[in-house]
Structure 1
Amino acid sequence: MKTIAIIPARGGSKRLPGKNIRLLGGIPLIAHSIRYAQQCPFIDVVYVSTDDAEIKAVALAYGAKVVDRPETISGDLEPTVSALKHVLENMEGVTDVVLLQATNPLRPGELLNEAFRKYEEGNYDSLFTVTRNHQKLGKIIEDKFVPFNYEIGQRSQDLEPLYFENGLLYISKAELILKDVIISENACPMIVNHPFANVDIDTQEDFDYAEYLFKKDIEN
């Protein structure tokens, strides 16, 4: 039985060029996820799946193993599971996979350990992290705003609890991923209410916010 972490990281980001190796707190963005995985006693090996030579060099420098991702599964519209499946198809003995996204570099320190224990003790086949949404949401239909999760005049604190997939981490059985599934129908949604859950870097504004939280966390 073996548990591995996989960090998918393509090159060629259009909205924030070179984002996966940009320095956050003096460390390349992807290195935050590599280091995080390396600190977990449940993880045997950390892999980075990439199509980019610079990302590969950084990943190797920080002690990860690299699987070269072919161009056929490196497009903008290619689902993440394709990269995970490609890694698994080239190895044996893997039972569980932890997916860490490079664009979610900040995570509570003990989150992964707690998540993996919950995953094993609950005998789940997958687990992912979610965060409660506190916004009043609605749709615009024929130029009119139609409330979705509340009634006009309702207080925010009285909203029915809704949650969003925050991307901090995913755990899944390897056999599921080989069937193109990361989150199964009976997956465990692990609730994480933490400022880091709101960080998903895709733009300069996202990166600036991550820097702010990173500095604030160090100061505390």
Structure 2
Amino acid sequence: MNKYKNIAIIPARGGSKRIPEKNIQLFGGLPLLVHSIQYAAANSEIIDAIYVSTDDPTIKATALAYGAKVIDRPASLSGDLEPTITALKHVLESIEVVVENVILLQPTNPLRPQNLLKEAFEMYQKENYDSLFTVTRNHQKFGKIDDNKFIPYNYAIGQRSQDLEPLYSENGLLYITKASLILQNVIISENAFPLEVNHVFSNVDIDTKDDMEYAEYLYQKLITHNS
């Protein structure tokens, strides 16, 4: 049996309600998921193979045209509420390859800092982590509303934003996980390393048309104009 040290998996199902056919909508002149395929291909010194998991024939054709391998995802694993882990596990169970590490690239995060994967993977290997994911620090003042009253969550009224205790959000840019964990239905382990990425691209996760327009603005401003 062949062995791949590291594979990239891009889960890209066809059903999308807010933006129909979202994963193949043109973004920066290319279908959305192609940006993740090209990012993986640009890191070929790390990634041995690129797999797209999809239930959609048009997405399949697009992925194949741009050099990715495709795993046909069954309808039972393609519903709106289906977690990402089932697609990743299905890929590993469908290929006749022994895999050590899985790099998850979500097609809804088409913009990533150029050296992010290289830096993340070096840290992942050096420290012998079993999983790593990217996070972004949030500087907002959060609270909840209870009985029409606002109750601060992470600050005291009058406290300066710069004095807040740091809170972080999972930004979706990148995940690296041992394949053995994926097969146990785990992407982010209890010991996962949260890699802080405070880059403007970490604010892009395309779910709505407004998200797409904001991402396109950043693409034109930071990539096209600097090419």
Normalising by structure 2, report the TM-score.
Answer: 0.95
The residue number in structure 2 matching 1:37 is 40
Superposition pairs for residues 77-116 of structure 1, below 5 Å? Answer: 77-91=81-95, 92-116=97-121
2:208 equivalent among 189, 203, 209: 203
Higher deviation after alignment, 121-130 or 136-145: 136-145
1:67 partner amino acid = I
> d(CA) in 2 for partners of 1:159 and 1:179?
37
Gaps in structure 1 of 5+ consecutive residues: none
* Partner secondary structure for residue 75 of structure 1: coil
Provide the secondary structure at the position in 1 that maps to 2:53. Answer: strand
Instruction: Say yes or no: does 1:176 pair with 2:165.
Output: no
Partner of 1:162: 167
1:89 counterpart SS class: helix
Aligned residues with identical type, % of pairs: 70
* Aligned amino acid, residue 156 of structure 2: E
CA distance in 1, matches of 2:219, 2:136: 19
One-letter identity of the residue aligned with 1:167: G
Out of 113, 121, 144, the residue aligned to residue 139 of structure 1 is 144
Separation in 1 of the partners of 2:22 and 2:75?
19
Give the SS at the match of 1:119.
helix
Structure 2 CA distance for aligned equivalents of residues 163 and 200 of structure 1: 16
**2:15 aligned with 1:12:** yes
Deviation of 1:10 (Å): 0.8
CA-to-aligned-CA distance 1:79-115 (integer Å, 9 cap, x gap): 0000000000123310000000000000000001111
Cα offset for 1:12? 1.8
Aligned residue for 1:37, secondary structure, equals helix
Q: 1:123 aligns with which of 128, 131, 150?
A: 128
- Unaligned segments of structure 2, at least 5 residues: none
* In 2: Cα distance, 1:63 partner to 1:21 partner: 15
Cα displacement (A) at 1:216: 0.8
Displaced runs of 4 or more, over 3 A:
none
Letter in 1 for 2:26: L
CA distance in 2, matches of 1:183, 1:197: 18
